[in-house]
Each structure stands twice: as C-alpha cells, then as structure tokens.
Amino acid sequence: MRTPAVMVIGIVLAPCGLIFLITATAAPAWRNVRKYEGAAEDEVRQQGIWDICEESESTHSRQCGLTDTDYFKAQVVQMARGMMIASLAVTALGIGLASLGIRCWDEDPNYLLSGLSGLVIFAAGVLSIIPLSWYTNNINDVPTATQSSDMRVGYAVALGFIGSCFELMGGFSLVLSFFHFCKKKDPASNYYANRSNNKTQHPRNMRKGNNYV
C-alpha cells in the first residue's frame, strides 16, 4: 500500500522544523544591538537566550561568552529557554510516534498513531511560536546592560518562526490521518469498498460451456 500523502508531508516537514528550531535555540542572535555606549560604528552585539556575542563587521572578529545579568534574568528570556527546550523534546517524541505510525516497512500504516503524532508535533509548534512571538513583541523592552536605541530582531528568531510553521503544517497534515482511521473503521464504507472490488474480479469457478460477455 502506498503511504498517504498527508503522512509523507508530515514526516518531511517535522524534521525540517526540528532542525530550524535547534538552530534558533542555540544561536546567539535573537536580538542585534547597535550603537551602544563604548561600541565602534561597525560593532554589533548579538544576544541569544544562552549566549551573547560581539562582532566587528569590518574585521569579522567575534567574541562570545559575554555576560549580561539583567538580560539573562529577564522573564521573556527565562521563559524562552524553557519553552524552546520543551518544544524540541516534544517534536522528537512526535517524530518517533510518526515513524511508528507510518511504518514504511509494513503494508498498512497505523492511522491512529499517525494522527496522535500529528497532535504532538502541532503542540510542539505552538510551544515554540509563543516565546518567539513574545520576544519579538517586546524586542525593545528586554532589559540589557548595553542600552541602545537601535535594537533589531536577529536571524535566530526568523529561523525559529520558519521551524514553528513547518511543525504546525506537518502536525496538521499528520492529524488528517484520523480521517483515514475513521473511514477504515466505518462499516458502511468498508462494505461498499469490498462490493466494488468484487465487481471488478472475474468469477473463480467458471462452468464449462458458459459464455461471458
């Protein structure tokens, strides 16, 4: 039996979303701070949820491991840490369930398990998009020791939104497996499907002398 398209879409988008979210979680580029006190014209401070780096755009020199107690103690940063890690763990669980549900090595997939995995992956996408949206909405309000009037969203947030959208779409696609599960369990649909298949088959026991048009 061919794997349904909704399962293929889901099992492809979910791992892609996981890769984007891992990068977004680890990258120190949730916010770019420029023109702060003591900084050169081409210096930019990249703040993530785990690390802070300072880079010179002219020389491409980079220094990480900078400290900023006010920034890391901010509620939005603390919340983003917990929810992004939770999202990664839930996504991994959902992908594992989807693999067992799709069962490419078997003839018939487990539609119920595939649908449940879609709910898990969709929930993971929600878990990641909440802190990303909150951080973006409060981009200028997150406290930091390097006050500046030029604060912009970093590339890590953009990657995070892409990963979240992939997971939401992949999870929704897998949830559609419930439709196949319900259809398979419906006695009426099974009856008409079997009846239609029987009409297309020739009689096995044919008597000699009988002609079939």
- Quickly state the pLDDT bin for 180 (edges 50, 70, 90): low
Give mean pLDDT, residues 97-112: 79
Angle between helices 177-185 and 187-200 (to 10 degrees): 80
State yes or no: pLDDT of 204 exceeds 60. Answer: no
C-alpha 2/C-alpha 103 separation (Å) is 11
Nearest to 128 by CA among 161, 97, 98: 161
pLDDT for res 36: 74
pLDDT for res 67: 85
**What one-letter code names the amino acid at 77?**
V
pLDDT for res 189: 46
- Quickly state the pLDDT bin for 82 (edges 50, 70, 90): very high
Per-residue b or e along 9-22, where b marks 16 or more CB atoms closer than 10 Å to that residue's CB: bbbebbbebbebbe
pLDDT for res 106: 65
- Quickly state the pLDDT bin for 79 (edges 50, 70, 90): very high
- Quickly state the pLDDT bin for 90 (edges 50, 70, 90): very high
pLDDT for res 181: 57
- Quickly state the pLDDT bin for 128 (edges 50, 70, 90): very high
Higher pLDDT: 213 or 42? It is: 42
| Most confident of the following: 44-48, 100-104, 144-148, 202-206 | 44-48
Higher pLDDT: 194 or 117? It is: 117
Q: What is the DSSP letter of 153?
A: E
pLDDT for res 94: 94
How far does CA 22 lie from the centroid of its chain? 10
Domains in the chain, CATH or no CATH each: 5-27+70-141+155-186 (1.20.140.150)
